Amino acid sequence: MTGVNEIRSAFLDYFGKNDHQIVESGPLVPRNDPTLMFANAGMNQFKNVFTGLETRDYARAATAQKVVRAGGKHNDLDNVGYTARHHTFFEMLGNFSFGDYFKERAIEHAWTLITREYGLPAEKLLVTVYSEDEDAAVLWKKIAGLTDDRIIRIPTSDNFWTMGDTGPCGPCSEIFYDHGDHVAGGPPGSPDEDGDRFIEIWNLVFMQYEQTADARLDLPRPSIDTGMGLERLAAILQGVHNNYDIDLFKAIIGASVNVTGVEAEGDALASHRVIADHLRSTAFLIADGVLPSNEGRGYVLRRIMRRGMRHAHLLGAKDPVLFKLIPTLIREMGQAYPELGRAEALITETLTLEEKRFGKTLDRGMGLLESATSDLGEGGQLDGETAFKLYDTYGFPLDLTQDALRPRGIQVDTDAFDAAMARQKAEARANWSGSGGTATDTIWFGLKEKFGATEFLGYETEKAEGVV
Ligand code: ATP
Ligand code: MG
Ligand code: MG
Ligand code: MG
| Residue pLDDT, tens place only, 64-87 | 999 999 987 789 999 998 999 999
Asked if residues 131 and 106 have their Cβ atoms less than 8 Å apart, the reply is no
Question: Is the CB–ligand 1 distance for residue 150 below 6 Å?
Answer: no
Grouping H, G, I as helix, E, B as strand and the rest as coil, residue 217 is strand
Mutation choice for ligand 1 from 68, 75, 86, CB with most ligand atoms inside 8 A: 86
Give residue 468's pLDDT band: very low, low, confident or very high (50, 70, 90).
very low
Q: What is the mean pLDDT of residues 305-330?
A: 97
Q: For residues 338 and 278, what is the distance between their CA atoms, to the nearest angstrom? A: 19
Grouping H, G, I as helix, E, B as strand and the rest as coil, residue 269 is helix
Question: Is the CB–ligand 1 distance for residue 244 below 6 Å?
Answer: no
Distance 102 CA to ligand 2 centre (A): 25
Ligand 1 atom 29: residue of nearest CA: 86
Q: What is the mean pLDDT of residues 205-223?
A: 94
Ligand 1 atom 11: residue of nearest CA: 203
Q: What is the DSSP letter of 70?
A: E
Its ipTM equals 0.99
Distance of CA 211 to the CA centre of its chain: 28
Q: Which ligand is nearest to the CA of 88?
A: 1
Question: Is the CB–ligand 1 distance for residue 201 below 6 Å?
Answer: yes
Is the backbone of residue 141 left (phi > 0), alpha (psi -120 to 50) or beta?
Answer: alpha
Neighbours of 457 (CB within 10 A): 23
Q: What is the DSSP letter of 27?
A: P
Distance of CA 464 to the CA centre of its chain: 28
What pTM does this model have? 0.91
pLDDT value of residue 434: 57
